[in-house]
A and B are shown apart, each in its own frame.
Chain A
Amino acid sequence: MKQVTLSVRDLKKRIGKREIIKGIDFELNEGEVFGFLGPNGAGKTTTIRMLVGLIKPTSGSIHICGYDVRQDFTKAMKQMGCIVENPELYPFLSGWDNLLHFARMLPDVDETRMDEVVELVGLQARIHDKVKTYSLGMRQRLGIAQAMLNSPKLLILDEPTNGLDPAGIREMRQFIRKLAEEEGMSVLVSSHLLGEIQQLCDRVAIIKGGEIIKTDTVESLLSTQERIFWRVEPIQKGAEILSSFTEITLDQKYIITAYDELKTPEWNAALNQAGVRVHEMNRKLPGLEELFLQVTGGGAGIE
């Protein structure tokens, strides 16, 4: 039985008259990377701010490793490291002094641990320079180093790849996977970059308008949406025949239908009989992107 590191129950937040978070439930297990996926303004950052105790939920409960964030704040925070939005550090201090600053706020963090995290994020060469001379990527790294100081069981990262170049993104991804797989850490990552979530996470919650629309493993979310791309000639006639069996969509020279292991051969035979030539039958998993657009209803339009 894996330990639950974060459990959120019926979390709500109202600001003024608007209910921004409308009741969110989820759990995170040890060693799991959990993705928080949603369009702009969905409420990802607001939820994360409640998780780390920056804002008070209107109702609901949050437990980190069994400790209630409101009642046992310090105990809960000892188990957690986080970056909320950008990793804002003191620009007038060196990277090392920034780490020292946050190490002093934690029990039992000594210089050996500080050296460890610096090495972990690969900042050795510049750690004694002032943070204002750092690039955005270096700040992200320092932010991670800072979040790792207390060897947390739970790491919460709001848009961790913000401002990283492709190499940096890949490195960050590998880094997060390593933390989860080798150190058994649970990681909560929020993002609106689907590719990133798809490659990084074990499970995803899709959130929109302050509600979780779907929570599932990445594979099962995707497999319900497998489709077939047909390239046939003549395309008009092919479309006519296929639409008599199932729903179709036309995409330039392709006809797209759902994938159904048993039915597809029949459809194919019917096409052949009618003298339609089938050039290509392509089975495709949709990107999370399509899924995302599908469940969030197109995405565009901030409420």
Chain B
Amino acid sequence: MNNLVQNEMMKLLAKKRLIIIGLIVGILVLMFTYAQYKQVEEQREKLGTDDWRAALQQQIIDTQNRLGSNRMLDEWREQLQVSLKQQQYYLDHDINPSEPGAATFTRMFLENAIDLFIPLLIMIVASDMVSSENSQGTIKLLLTRPVERWKILLSKYVTLLLSVSIIVAVTALLSYLLSGIVFGYQGWGAPVITGFELKGADVDVSQVRLVEQWKFLLMDLGLVWLVAVVVGTLSFMLSVLVRSTPAGMGIMLAALISGAILNNMVSSWESAKYFFMVNLKLTAYISGTAPPIEGMTLLSSVITLLVWWALALIVSFTVFTRRDVY
């Protein structure tokens, strides 16, 4: 098995896919860093001063005043207390809340990349893993060695999991390292608000709390990895089923893009929540944005994705081990 994975890695590296992916990520991160930098600069100009401390202090006083009034629901009071803590932290640690460090940038980048950008990168690797052997004809040599077919496919899948992990890690690392040049490498301990729960139309804020950014980032990374594995497995299945790599890529791309579109308009089509592509934005649940369809939760999305993942694996292995190769 080890030997087989080594083989797959050798082919993957020889194709230089990972380097291309690294370059794409690098360029994109630089672009976003620049955009963010522009935004910060503009804000600074609008506010007129570098004196964000005074502004923050004013905000804190406002919040305290509102907390002091009696007409406040308990729930809202708790939430305000949480954001008060956050503001106080910024002040105490001398962090300008509108000028995030590299850690915040990385978190935001991952949260925005989870449903389209990262899946696209994964597709570059996954979608030709089997179909390229088919179209090159090398599948004939691969399958006439004294190795069972399922082992050959498993070695390819293990290689895919390795590359997915590498891609997610490299994306996080590059966005931290590159954005840090501009924003500085701080922000690991900064508090991030989480715990919003949407119950019907209401926001349940009873669970709202502050989490240190590094913990939050780890959660984000885990979710990104999960999404990447599921999308990778699905493209892997397509590459088993469809002989031509461009066709497989096209199908996957159509699915991902339709997911992005559906996300904006399916709120009334409830059963759309069983599509894998509307369940990709897992990080939205912990940062507290509303899901595209009412009733979707982190748990339901993860379960949906896992079901798709399992089906894709079963289909891939069944087809690959039984199929006639021409």
Task: Give the B-binding residues of A (Cβ under 8 A).
Answer: 49, 52-56, 73-75, 77-78, 80, 82, 84-86, 88-93, 97, 100-102, 104-107, 146, 150
Contact = CB atoms under 8 A, between A and B. Distances in A.
B326 A105 contact: no
Contacts of B138: 88-90
Contact of B137 (A74, A75, A77, A88): A88
Nearest to A75: B146
28 contacts: A53-B143, A54-B324, A55-B325, A55-B326, A56-B324, A73-B146, A74-B148, A77-B145, A77-B146, A78-B146, A84-B140, A85-B137, A86-B137, A88-B138, A88-B141, A89-B138, A90-B138, A93-B11, A93-B14, A97-B10, A100-B10, A101-B10, A102-B141, A104-B6, A104-B7, A105-B146, A105-B147, A146-B141
B153 to A, nearest CB: 14
A106 B147 CA distance: 8
Nearest to B147: A105
- Interface residues of chain A: helix, strand, loop or mixed (majority): loop
Interface in B130-149: 136-138, 140-148
Contacts of A53: 143-144
Nearest to A94: B14
A102 B145 contact: yes
B324 A55 contact: yes
Interface residues of B, number: 23
A78 B146 CA distance: 5
B15 A77 contact: no
A49 B141 CA distance: 11
A84 B14 contact: no
Q: 4 closest Cβ contacts across the A-B interface? A: A88-B137, A55-B324, A77-B146, A104-B3
Given A49-B326, A84-B144, 14 more contacts: A52-B140, A54-B144, A55-B325, A88-B137, A88-B138, A89-B141, A90-B138, A92-B14, A93-B14, A100-B10, A101-B10, A104-B7, A105-B147, A150-B146
B56 interface: no
A88 B136 contact: yes
